[in-house]
Amino acid sequence: MPKTSANRYFTSTAVFLNEVLKLSISIWVAYLERRKVDGPKVPVAKSIKHLCGDVFRPDNWKLAIPACLYTLQNSLQYIAVSNLDAATFQVTYQLKILTTALFSVLMLHRNLNAKKWASLIMLTVGIAIVQLPAAAKSIPDNPEMNRAIGLIAVAVACTISGLAGVYFEKVLKGSNTTLWVRNVQLSFYSLFPAFFIGVVAKDGREILERGFFDGYNNVVWSAIGFQAFGGIVVALCVNYADNIAKNFATSISILLSFIASIYCFDFEVTIGFMIGASIVLFATWLYSAPDGLIPKWKQEYIPLEQADPKSDHDGKGHEGEEIVGKSSIDGLKRSD
């Protein structure tokens, strides 16, 4: 491993290595899937050729769109963080939950009733409240911050986040191409903006002076590994569920991270955290609860002509209708 210096590592190099790691894992799993399809009698070279044909099929360009969108989203996040205090950024960035739901309705024609929209709004509010205590302890405001630019950047970033996620889901579920081949395509196209925009254009001069791996240590390498693993898990979640479920899973994971911090880093539990966590958990339950979970107590009105003519009932409602309730009225008979 390269020697670690006192300098901070370049985030652009970490993003690039994250994509390289995701690409490597995806290629390996896609190759294993290809071998399973081809069978042991097919030569390895031919399986590799088949895999290349799967990856560079005519519609592979579709994954260049979310790759560019994700790169733009990351750039806007940096702009937003540079121009907003941490608390404002954490709260406003949760709007990506709602933009994801909106694009799911527009692009995937997903039906979300009032209960589901209410649960999504509650999730947005709850996770914002949960993250406020940690954001309040962050670095103080910089007098050179431009709040208007920061808010515009975070609003556009939230919109792009929802659009890119739903577009990726649409491409993923709209063809017979496997998840791992799509992951290879996405990571492949993500390498170009990560390298040329991040590594070369943004930090190229300093990287030449200090080295590509300057500032790297075990923590940085671990972060890159977890980030790559998280990206693959997100793709799995989108493939087998959807982007909305992914947002709920992400919110629950944030709660679990804060709970782990209580034991590992003496994180102080506040009333706000308890309220926010409760809202998140309730929103998760509400979204997944069946629509008919709460019973509706009402009477059923059966027209008189549909009733059994031999019945001994003589209770009649208005306009010739017999009232039949859901209770013991059905079993009552007139005594002689």
Instruction: Dump pLDDT digits (tens) for 183-205.
Output: 999 999 999 999 998 899 988 99
Domain presence at residue 293 = no
Q: Does residue 22 sit in the same domain as residue 168?
A: yes
Q: How far apart are CA 298 and CA 325, in angstroms?
A: 8
Same domain, 204 and 321: no
Question: Does residue 192 sit in the same domain as residue 260?
Answer: yes
- Note whether 154 and 241 are same-domain residues: yes
Predicted pLDDT of residue 121 = 94
Based on the fold, state whether residues 278 and 305 are members of the same structural domain: no
pLDDT value for 125: 92
Q: How many CB atoms lie within 10 A of CB 308?
A: 9
Identify the residue with better confidence: 66 or 243: 66
The verdict on 238 and 322 lying in the same domain is no
- Residue 156 half-sphere exposure toward CB, CA atoms < 13 A: 18
> Do residue 284 and residue 188 come from a single domain?
yes
Dist. CA 24–CA 17, nearest whole Å? 10
- Closest to 100 (Cα-Cα) out of 164, 162, 170, 171: 162
- Could you give the CA distance from residue 7 to residue 9 in angstroms, rounded to a whole number? 6
pLDDT at res. 168: 92
Instruction: Please state the domain count of the chain.
Output: 2
Considering the domain architecture, whether residues 187 and 311 belong to the same structural domain is answered as no
- Spatial separation of the C-alpha atoms in residues 201 and 198, rounded to whole Å: 6
Mean pLDDT within 297-303: 45
Q: For residue 256, what are the CA distances in angstroms to 96, 251, 252, 277?
A: 20, 9, 6, 10
Give how far the C-alpha of residue 94 lies from the chain's centroid of Cα atoms, to the nearest Å: 11
Poorest-pLDDT segment among 60-64, 151-155, 222-226? 222-226
pLDDT at 137: 55
Q: Which pLDDT score is estimated for 166? A: 94
How confident is the model over 250-289, as pLDDT tens digits? 888 777 777 777 777 677 778 888 898 899 999 989 888 8
**Domain annotation covers residue 164:** yes
Q: Residue 49 belongs to what domain range? A: 11-288
* Average pLDDT over every residue of 120-135: 83
Under the banding of pLDDT at 50, 70 and 90, the label for residue 84 is confident
Query: What pLDDT, in 10s, does the model give residues 44-81?
Result: 999 999 999 999 999 899 999 999 998 888 888 878 88
> Does 312 share its domain with 250?
no
Average pLDDT, the chain: 81
The whole-number pLDDT of residue 329 equals: 42
Least confident of 35-39, 139-143, 158-162, 327-331: 327-331
Rounded (10°) CA dihedral 13, 19, 24, 29: 160
One domain, residues 222 and 313: no
